[in-house]
Amino acid sequence: MKEIINKYKNKIYIFNTLKNKKELFIPINNNLIKMYVCGPSIYKKIHLGNCRTFIFFDIIYRYLLHLKFDIRYIRNLTDYNFKLNYNVDKNYYIYSYDMKKKILKFYKILQLLNLLKPNFEPRVTNYIYEQINNIKKIIKLKYGYNLNKSIYFNIYKYNKNFREYGKILNNIDISYNRNKNNYYKKKNIYDFSIWKNYNYNDLIRWNTEWGKGIPGWHIGCTTMSNKFLGEYFDIHGGGIDLKFPHHECEIIQSNIINNNNNNLAKYWIHTNILTINNKKMSKSLNNYILPYDIIKGRYRITDNININPLIIRLYLIQTHYRNNINFSYNNLRKTINIYYNLLNIFNKIKRIKTQNITSSYINILEIYENCYNSINDDFNIPLLIYNLNKINNIIDECINNVLQINKSDLYKLNKILKYFIIDILGLKKEKNKKSINIKKIINNLLKIRNEMRIKKDYIYSDKIRDIISDYIIINDN
RNA sequence: GGCACCAUGGCCGAGAGGUUAGGCUAAGGUCUGCAAAACCUUAUACAGUAGUUCGAAUCUACUUGGUGUCUCCA
């Protein structure tokens, strides 16, 4: 196994959004990989779109673990937001209690979706001191200026001394379609705040030598990634909507604070968005769907009340991460079959009778090759699922004795399925005790109904059918 | 305008160089206490043009159309 892992760990290709091309992944420090992913802003519950990003990076994390890399994975929590509407009238303890509850709910959802815990999940408000220090550095280097007790980053100076703002990640044309009204009298319209003067109503604020307030959004991520991973690390990830301006600003700040040209991370990975009715699913548009509502059957996707959360997981990864997903219940419903087909492979494989032959008709090496190559090609999960389904077909043929397989090859086949389906895709079979009880009740009702039908008591048998038709479909033939 | 993604039947959707999966829908049938479901049969598609190739839905170039993003966002 070691040989196989070593063979494929040097062949990972990543679409690096920093350069807009696919590149061979070469870690900065041999076997050590440092990865930072922008976590959620905790002010509303996380929806399917948020989950998509976190699940995708969970798969990268799982895969790198599988390849026996030594990996440090950090995902932050932005636990302060203007939209929280906490004001001075409210008690600080209520705020802090609410925040804790919200974070626990976030963890609960990720746990249901079978995400592994990152190595550390720093909360922005725990690192204010470090952020202020970084702001001080920026001011000292004269890249930050004070305007009405807020601190802004001087883009004009940056463009002069480093490289052009807006060209690093997004390559945006900053002359186009931009509101040129400069309300705040900033030196440049692209100057962004690294410290915000407090509003009278804000409950939370910190003291500095230039006044009370809160750090800007971007400085938090720069500071935490620097603190936990150093000034230059391997992978920085997040949703594509963070590409600009958030990540652009993170890079610029880091280049100034550390006085380098590293652009913070070697590889930048951005996941595409999830749309619904061709509009972006977002908290602000209020068109979002919560995973918990699907799991609890509030959208009634099938006749079974509860939906296995891992079906949502599979739904979100079966489209390549750089394509956008247009959410539809229909497709989610179809994923149920795909899910059970995939997991059924483990039951099917037990039915294979091995043959006492020296070489099987199955090319195990080729199967390994296909699976590893698909995930190595910019984490092509749809292709991986396609290849896993191919294995499914092979297993069918083995069961039907069309193909013959020996013991050692069957063992290898079992192994690769376990690696990819369970370890990397993160799917698993779950036993739901509640649903088993419901099943028992329904089965008993069905028995009674059948007895009535034999007696041709159709009035009551139909009544029973109506009652239980909410849970199952009855096929009398 | 920049960047990214997409284009497959009436609708949804797989495909990853080698006879266009599958599902929904429609029509006809089998079955049946009624209903639903299931099963069988039938129907229709690779946006356009050029190129690479023995062979292209798939690779390349261009064109057309669509979506997202460039404002708080995963």
Q: Which nucleotide is nearest to A282 (CA to C1')?
A: B73
- How many angstroms separate the CA of A2 from the C1' of B23? 42
Element (H, E) at A294: helix A291-295
Report the C-alpha gap between A15 and A10 in whole angstroms.
15
Closest CA to A238 of A35, A13, A23: A35
Q: Is the pLDDT confidence value at A71 over 90?
A: yes
Looking at the structure, tell me whether residues A201 and A60 fall in a common domain: yes
Confidence grade of residue A434 (pLDDT, cut at 50, 70, 90): very low
Q: Is A431 helix (H, G, I), strand (E, B) or coil?
A: coil
Distance CA A382, CA A379 (A): 9
Q: How far is the CA of A186 from the C1' of B15 (A)?
A: 53
Residue A373 lies in a domain: yes
Per-residue CB contacts under 7 A with strand B, chain A residues 287-346: 318-320, 322-324, 326, 328, 330-331, 334
- Distance CA A269 to C1' B74 in A: 12
Q: What is the mean pLDDT of chain A?
A: 84
Would the Cβ of A477 be found within 7 angstroms of any atom in strand B?
A: yes
Q: Are A371 and A377 in contact (CB under 8 A)?
A: no
Q: Could you tell me where the DSSP H helices lie in A308-363?
A: 309-317, 329-349
Same domain, residue pair A264 and A315: no
Domain boundary (A271, A287, A312) is at: A271
The nucleotide minimizing the C1' distance to residue A449's CA is: B33
CA distances from A34 to A63, A73, A159, A352, A378 (A): 14, 6, 29, 42, 18
Across the range A356-367, mean pLDDT stands at: 79
Q: Answer for the pair A306, A297: CB distance below 8 angstroms, yes or no.
A: yes
Q: Could you tell me which of A309, A307, A315, A311 has the C-alpha nearest to residue A331?
A: A315
Mean pLDDT (whole number) for A36-65: 91
Q: Which residues pair with A196 in a beta bridge?
A: A214
Least Cα distance to A150 among A88, A183, A192, A113 occurs for A192
Q: Which nucleotide is nearest to A192 (CA to C1')?
A: B71
User: Of the candidates A271, A297, A312, which is a domain's last residue?
Assistant: A271
User: Residue A477: inside a domain, yes or no?
Assistant: no
- Chain A, 113-142: which CBs lie within 7 Å of strand B? none
Phi and psi for A389 in degrees, rounded to 5? -65, -30
Give residue for tokens 């649903």: A435
* E strand map for A78-162: 144-147, 150-153
The tally of domains found in chain A comes to 3
Question: What is residue A435's predicted lDDT score, i.e. its pLDDT?
Answer: 46
Can you tell me the mean pLDDT for A319-343? Answer: 80
Query: What is the C-alpha separation between A449 and A332, in angstroms, rounded?
Result: 33
Is there a single domain that holds both residue A263 and residue A280?
no
- pLDDT bucket at A91, cuts 50 / 70 / 90: low
- Written as six digits, the tokens of A439 are 């099943």
**Are residue A419 and residue A449 in the same domain, yes or no?**
no
Count the Cβ atoms, other than its own, within 10 Å of residue A278: 7
**CATH number of the domain within which A199 lies:** 3.40.50.620
pLDDT tens for residues A112-145? Answer: 999 999 999 999 999 999 999 999 999 999 999 9
State residue A72's pLDDT score.
Answer: 97
Q: Which of A220, A249, A271 represents a domain boundary (last residue)?
A: A271
Q: Which nucleotide is nearest to A279 (CA to C1')?
A: B68
**Of the spans A41-45, A151-155, A471-475, which averages the highest pLDDT?**
A151-155
Compute and round to an integer the Cα radius of gyration of chain A: 27
Contacts of A52 (CB under 8 A, 6+ apart): A271, A274, A316, A321, A325
Residue A74 lies in a domain: yes
Assigned token pair, A288: 């979002």
Sign of the CA dihedral with A247 first, then A143, A199, and A133 last: positive
Model ipTM value: 0.80
Residues A361 and A452 in one domain: no
The token duo for A127 is: 């690192």
Same domain, A441 and A459: yes
Residue A40 approaches strand B within 7 Å at CB: yes
At A177, the pLDDT band (50, 70, 90 cuts) reads very low
Give which of A78, A59, A120, A134 is closest to A246, Cα–Cα.
Answer: A78
Please state whether strand B lies within 7 Å of residue A450 at its CB atom.
Answer: no
Please check the confidence at residue A367 and state whether its pLDDT lies above 60: yes
**Which residues 6+ apart lie within 8 Å of A285 measured at CB?**
A279
Cβ-contact A12, A71 below 8 angstroms: no
A146 compared with A282, residue with greater pLDDT:
A146
What is the per-residue pLDDT across A95-107, written as a single tens digit (0 to 9) for each? 788 888 889 999 9
Indicate whether A319 belongs to any domain.
yes
Both A221 and A339 in one domain: the answer is no
Spatial neighbors of A286 by CB under 8 A, at least 6 apart, are: none
Check residue A304 and give its pLDDT: 56
Say if residue A93 is in the same domain as residue A178: yes
Contact assessment for residue A88 and residue A244, using Cβ atoms and an 8 Å cutoff:
no
Å separating the CA of residue A341 from the C1' of nucleotide B41: 28
Residue A267, pLDDT score:
93
Confidence (pLDDT) at A433:
43
Q: Establish if A172 belongs to a structural domain.
A: yes
pLDDT at A27: 95
Worst-scoring range by mean pLDDT, A5-9, A264-268, A355-359? A355-359
What pLDDT is recorded for position A33?
A: 97
Per-residue confidence at A182, pLDDT binned at 50, 70, 90?
very low
Least confident residue range of A37-51, A259-273, A288-302, A461-475 = A461-475
> A206 CB contacts (<8 Å, ≥6 apart)?
A128, A132, A212, A213, A214, A215
Q: Is residue A475 part of a domain?
A: no
The pair of structure tokens assigned to A438 is 């419901």
Beta strands A32-37 and A70-75 are parallel
The single residue listed with the structure tokens 């807009």 is A20
A460 touches strand B (CB under 7 A): no
Task: Band the pLDDT of A26: cuts 50, 70, 90.
Answer: very high
For residue A334, give its domain range. Answer: 276-424
For residue A473, tell me if it sits in a domain: no
CA distance A224 to A455: 73
Chain B nucleotides with an atom closer than 7 Å to a protein C-beta: 1-6, 12-16, 22-23, 31-38, 67-74
Question: How far from chain centre, in Å, is Cα A173?
Answer: 29
- Note whether A127 and A240 are same-domain residues: yes
Which residues of chain A (205-234) touch nucleic strand B at CB < 7 A? 217
Model confidence at A184: pLDDT above 70: no
pLDDT digits (tens, 9 = 90+) for A193-234: 999 888 776 777 889 999 988 899 999 999 999 999 999 999
Which of the 8 DSSP states describes residue A58?
Answer: H
Establish if A75 belongs to a structural domain. yes
Residue A330 and residue A286 in one domain: yes
**In a shared domain, residues A153 and A71:** yes
Query: How long is the CA A123 to C1' B24 vector, in angstroms?
Result: 47
Encoded tokens for A373: 């190559």
A15: the nucleotide nearest its CA (via C1') is B4
Q: How confident is the model at residue A432 (pLDDT cuts 50, 70, 90)?
A: very low
pLDDT of residue A118: 97
C-alpha span between A56 and A370 (Å, rounded): 20
Q: How far is the CA of A323 from the C1' of B6 (A)?
A: 8
One domain for residues A454 and A395: no
A6 touches strand B (CB under 7 A): no
Whether A20 CB is under 7 Å from strand B: yes
